[in-house]
């Protein structure tokens, strides 16, 4: 099978790597890919926003399956365009991708179908005054979210009415999130452990992959600013059999049903960002694609035929038994540029990438290759990822962290406590 992966981050390197391992993969292309994906497939230099050229490439190269990694091309309708041309695509339509692209859409859907999530109110820019009136009478902390996608920065947790008013100003007056902040969701603050669960679906049937836990804050102990994710591990012990049953029956099944009923069935990976509250799992957010960096730790835990899983979902008849949990554990540590998530420099040379121990892989997230040298090219640069055959998280943690000192670049920064929550 000829397979095309769209994207350029650690998630896409992990996807390409899993696909490459399978017997069913002939040609593997990545648009645009990164130096890591270039070692296992063919990178094609093309803009992810240039849907016309991507379609032409897929047709000309007889692509049997396209896997779209990031949300942007999905929200912009790349899957629709390719499907209309008769191609098989793993990833939802533009309409179904609204579940990530418009938080208000997701919240209304959850309310209408009684899917557990934080209670909420929605306000437009035009209703600034009534939003302020509402903020006066609620309890704190509360959460204010820009409606559209804001590169992971559109969620503001505020402790007081004054801070809430400032946050509202950021959205409505200073337009810090562009048009994504013209509408806001103000929602109840939930407490508990967070977990991420991927549902792989053909629109009706689905399977849940092992649950992971992301680490969004920049510093150890969940301190400092929010980031795109500083590391993850799987499986997380916070998700037991009962929670998995609840997520399937009370969250994934009704959400897929809701999307079918409004005429926009969801095909692909429905990312469920969950808060495990005293009242059971509740949805923090849905994403319309695999999570990053969770994918890097979930895929190493799958045995079986991953390509068949994606292909059967894309074909509308999910083969649920294509993959199963292999009993292992995985930890991925994000190595970031100094200064990230604020200002940081790019172009630092990375060394030591070819001296990795067994059972450790490095996925490239923000790198480029210049004159044969690998240079930093983003905030999150590398994902040092380990896996153990048995579910031994302490061992997986040790493996990942023991591999890091080999790798060097100026200013590199990483958290030292990825997976510690599970070990306590
Ligand atoms: P999101 O981009 O929606 O995943 O939000 C980013 C982070 O903000 C989440 O991972 C949570 O840690 C936090 N968050 C979002 N919504 C809530 C909520 N309703 N209650 C508590 N924390 C939240
Ligand atoms: N790890 C969070 C996300 O993929 O959005």
- Residue range 279-319, pLDDT digits in tens: 999 999 999 999 999 999 999 999 999 999 999 999 999 99
**Which residue, among 269, 275, 250, 295, has the nearest Cα to 208 in the 3D structure?**
269
Q: Whose CA is nearest to atom 3 of ligand 2?
A: 291
**Predicted pLDDT of residue 180:** 87
pLDDT in tens, 126-169: 999 999 999 999 999 999 999 998 877 789 999 999 999 999 99
286 by DSSP, 3-state: which? strand
Domains and CATH numbers, the chain: 2-85 (3.40.50.20), 119-188 (3.30.1490.20), 193-325 (3.30.470.20), 329-423 (3.90.600.10)
Is the CB of residue 228 below 6 angstroms from any atom belonging to ligand 2?
no
Q: Is the CB of 216 under 6 A from ligand 1?
A: yes
What is the predicted pLDDT for the residue at 141? 97
Q: pLDDT tier at 244 (50, 70, 90 boundaries)?
A: very high
In the prediction, which pLDDT does 85 show?
A: 98
CB neighbour list of residue 143: distance below 8 Å, 6 or more residues apart: 118, 155, 156, 157, 158, 186, 187, 188, 189
Using CA atoms, how far apart are residues 299 and 344, in angstroms rounded to an integer? Answer: 30
Mean pLDDT of the chain: 96
Per-residue pLDDT at 226: 87
pLDDT at 157: 93
Determine which residue's CA is closest to atom 19 belonging to ligand 1: 189
pLDDT score of 362 more than 80: yes
The mean pLDDT of 378-394, rounded to a whole number, is 98
The pLDDT score that the predictor gives to residue 181 is 84
b/e for 298-314, b at 16 or more Cβ within 10 A? bbbbbeebbbbbbbbbb
DSSP codes, 88-114: -EES--TTTTHHHH-HHHHHHHHHHTT
**pLDDT tens for each residue of 63-105:** 999 999 999 999 999 999 999 999 999 999 999 999 999 999 9
| Residues 121 and 95 sit within 8 Å (Cβ to Cβ) | no
Q: What's the pLDDT score for residue 184?
A: 94
Take residue 154 and report the two structure tokens written for it.
């559109």
What confidence tier does 196 reach under pLDDT thresholds 50, 70, 90? very high
Alpha helices in 262-367 (DSSP H): 294-298, 306-314
Average pLDDT over every residue of 327-347: 97
292 lines ligand 2 (CB under 6 A): yes
* pTM for this predicted structure: 0.97
Distance from the alpha carbon of residue 281 to the mean position of ligand 1, in angstroms? 14
Average pLDDT of 233-257? 98
Q: Is the pLDDT of residue 178 over 90?
A: no
Question: What value does the mean pLDDT take over residues 262-281?
Answer: 98
* Residue 70 Cβ < 6 Å to ligand 2: no
Percent with pLDDT over 70 in the chain? 100
For tokens 């790198």, name the residue.
367
Residue 311 alpha carbon to ligand 1 centre in Å: 32
Q: How far is ligand 2, taken at its centre, from the CA of residue 130, in Å?
A: 32
Ligand 1 contact via 106 beta carbon (within 6 Å): no
The number of the ligand nearest the C-alpha atom of 11 reads 2
CA dihedral 65, 305, 214, 389 (to 10 degrees): -150
């Amino acid at each position: 099978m000829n397979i095309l992966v769209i994207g350029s981050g650690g998630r896409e390197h992990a996807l390409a790597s899993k696909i490459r391992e399978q017997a069913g993969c002939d040609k593997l292309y990545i648009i645009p890919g990164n130096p890591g994906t270039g070692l296992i497939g063919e990178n094609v230099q093309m803009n992810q926003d240039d849907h016309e050229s991507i379609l032409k490439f897929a047709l000309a190269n007889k692509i049997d399956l396209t896997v779209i990694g990031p949300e942007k091309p999905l929200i912009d309708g790349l899957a629709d365009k390719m499907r209309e041309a008769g191609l098989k695509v793993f990833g939802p339509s533009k309409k179904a991708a609204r579940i990530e692209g418009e938080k208000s859409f997701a919240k209304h859907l959850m309310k209408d179908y009684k899917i557990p999530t934080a209670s909420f109110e929605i306000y437009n820019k035009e209703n600034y005054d009534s939003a302020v009136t509402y903020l006066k009478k609620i309890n704190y902390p509360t959460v204010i979210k820009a409606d559209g996608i804001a590169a992971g920065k559109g969620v503001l947790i505020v402790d007081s009415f004054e801070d809430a008013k400032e946050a509202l100003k950021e959205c409505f007056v200073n337009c810090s999130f562009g048009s994504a902040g013209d509408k806001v969701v103000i929602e109840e603050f939930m407490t508990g452990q967070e977990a991420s669960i991927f549902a792989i679906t053909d629109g009706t049937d689905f399977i849940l992959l092992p649950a992971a836990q992301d680490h969004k804050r920049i510093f150890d102990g969940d301190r400092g600013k929010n980031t795109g994710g500083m590391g993850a591990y799987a499986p997380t012990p916070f998700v037991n059999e009962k929670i998995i049953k609840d997520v399937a029956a009370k969250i994934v099944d009704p959400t897929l049903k809701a999307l079918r009923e409004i005429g926009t069935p969801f095909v692909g990976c429905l990312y469920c960002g969950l808060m495990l509250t005293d009242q059971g799992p509740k949805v923090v957010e849905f994403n319309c694609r695999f999570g990053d960096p969770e994918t890097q730790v979930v895929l190493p835990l799958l045995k079986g035929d991953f390509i068949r899983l994606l292909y059967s979902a894309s074909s509308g008849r999910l083969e649920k038994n294509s993959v199963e949990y292999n009993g292992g554990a995985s930890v991925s540590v994000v190595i970031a540029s100094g200064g990230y998530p604020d200002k940081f420099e790019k172009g630092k040379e990375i060394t030591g990438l070819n001296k990795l121990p067994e059972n450790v892989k490095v996925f490239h997230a923000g790198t480029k290759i210049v004159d044969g040298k690998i240079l930093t090219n983003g905030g999150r640069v590398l994902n040092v990822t380990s896996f153990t055959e048995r579910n031994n998280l302490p061992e997986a943690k040790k493996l990942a962290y023991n591999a890091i000192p080999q790798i060097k670049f100026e200013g590199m920064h990483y958290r030292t406590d990825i997976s510690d929550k599970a070990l306590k």
